[in-house]
Amino acid sequence: MSEQEFRIEHDTMGEVKVPVNALWRAQTQRAVENFPISDRPLEATQIRAMGLLKAACAQVNKDSGALSAEKADAIIAAAKEIAAGTYNDEFPIDVFQTGSGTSSNMNTNEVIASLAKQNGVEIHPNDDVNMGQSSNDTFPTATHVAATEAAVTDLIPALSQLKDSLAAKSAEWEHIVKSGRTHLMDAVPVTLGQEFGGYARQIEAGIERIEATLPRLGELAIGGTATGTGLNTSADFGAKVSEELKKLTGVEQLKEAKNHFEAQAARDGLVEFSGAMRTIAVSLNKIANDIRLMGSGPLTGLGEIHLPDLQPGSSIMPGKVNPVLCETATQVAAQVIGNDAAITFGGAQGHFELNVFIPMMARNVLESAKLLANTARVFATRLVDGIVPDENRMRTLAESSPSIVTPLNSAIGYEAAAKVAKTALKEGKTIRQTVIDLGFVPEKLSEEELDKRLDVLAMANTDRD
């Protein structure tokens, strides 16, 4: 850039050259120059939360008389524009920055001040926009607002959609019998509906885990200022700002932290939330793997279900179609599990009165929530809803499995049943024919009783749901 493309801004350390059209000022520019690390800025949801927080703080300061109506209204208007995503490009600071998020807090303050100035109101980034606040309580607060809002308005609804899709298939396919598999080996029969019912319960339990984290995730550090003592702010500031944030977001779980020292020194709420998402990732990985194995083929795999054809699968093999959404889901699971490892490590870095890994933790938590929500939706609508079972194929495999000998244990004994299974495999006969050939009919049971015991659907439909 030429000299004409810069302007000079000042902070307590002196002069700084800032791009002439940028809304940010000196402190943001220093951070941009200090942290050319990853080219990864804050998540958009974090920027939104910062905007909402500044609007809430200005409203409380206006109501208390600490800030003039003119200044407060200018801050609120600018902050809401930021929350709407209008100025995301004005937040250039890398996620790998000062661990308190001070740089991004000042970025927000400076952009708000510049927007207010454009509207004819002189605002100071520290004295006015940051009134009654510290980076040490604002950035954690915005992180928890963003994470709680993501959980309530995006992740839980998306998981509920996936759970409903799986549950609908469970009900639809309750009569379709298939071979069970344990250790990837043939086992006694189940129904396809039972398997999908298990998947639906996994996702339902994941939702319950997310919901269980919300009381802690929704606790906000605002009001603690620098070290949790509330120095330079009013005693009721945190409670009032939290209430204002609840109004702005519609998220009922947002509230002032029970203990401001915990809320700033520790990030246990984020670690807990991430742990719940990690568990969902594990569930999603299991479900995706099962589905792609059941759909493997078309001729040399299990071929029990047909997955929707979504796109050509090979640049060299014509006609090949791959289980792309299962592969997407398992990659997302890996990323979420990796994010959780980083979040867990970051959560352990709460030295004395402040955790200083918050930007990284925030980015990973919000990324995990977004990845899981988007994956759950597309997995439901573009995969699960379009699965077509091959009922005949599944019944054939179930009836040919040596494990269906299991109900004969009580009639002919375990060792004799094992002999039946091994003989049937060796001679390529059905279990039914082998039982007859070995003389167990009519010596041990009648042919009618044999057929009743070898009914594969009856084996699956025991009294257990």
Q: Is there a binding annotation on residue 134? A: yes
Rounded Cα distance, 167 and 95, in Å: 39
Contact 219, 263 (CB under 8 A): yes
Q: Among residues 31, 41, 269, 29, which one has the least CA distance to residue 141?
A: 269
Supply the DSSP string of 127-155, one letter for each residue: IIITTT--HHHHHHHHHHHHHHHHIIIII
Helix (H, G, I), strand (E, B), or coil: what is residue 354? strand
Under 8 Å CB-to-CB from 425, ≥6 apart: which residues?
Answer: 402
Q: Is there a binding annotation on residue 182? A: yes
Q: Is there a binding annotation on residue 320? A: yes
Q: Is there a binding annotation on residue 68? A: no
Under 8 Å CB-to-CB from 27, ≥6 apart: which residues?
Answer: 11, 103, 106, 107, 110, 125
Rounded Cα distance, 145 and 269, in Å: 12
Contact 368, 340 (CB under 8 A): yes
H/E stretch holding 201 reads: helix 192-217
Q: Is there a binding annotation on residue 136? A: yes
Under 8 Å CB-to-CB from 130, ≥6 apart: which residues?
Answer: 105, 109, 138
- Residues paired with residue 190 on neighbouring β-strands, in sequence order: 178
Q: Is there a binding annotation on residue 322? A: yes
Active site residue 314: yes
Q: Is there a binding annotation on residue 321? A: yes
Q: Pick the catalytic residue from 314, 351, 410, 446.
A: 314
Rounded Cα distance, 350 and 100, in Å: 11
Distances (CA, A) of 14 to 9, 10, 11, 407, 412: 8, 5, 5, 84, 92
Active site residue 183: yes
Q: Is there a binding annotation on residue 124? A: yes
Rounded Cα distance, 168 and 193, in Å: 9
Q: Is there a binding annotation on residue 135? A: yes
Question: Counting runs of H as helices and runs of E as strands, what totals does the chain give?
Answer: 19, 10
Query: Hey, CA dihedral for 202, 330, 328, 181, is it positive or negative?
Result: negative
Q: Please, what is the angle between helix 44-64 and helix 102-118, to 10°? A: 70
- Cα 365 to chain centroid, rounded: 8
Amino acid of residue 117: K
Q: Is there a binding annotation on residue 2? A: no
Q: Can you say which residues are annotated as belonging to the binding site for substrate? A: 100-102, 124-127, 134-136, 182, 315, 320-322
* Residues classed as catalytic: 183, 314
Binding residues: 100-102, 124-127, 134-136, 182, 315, 320-322
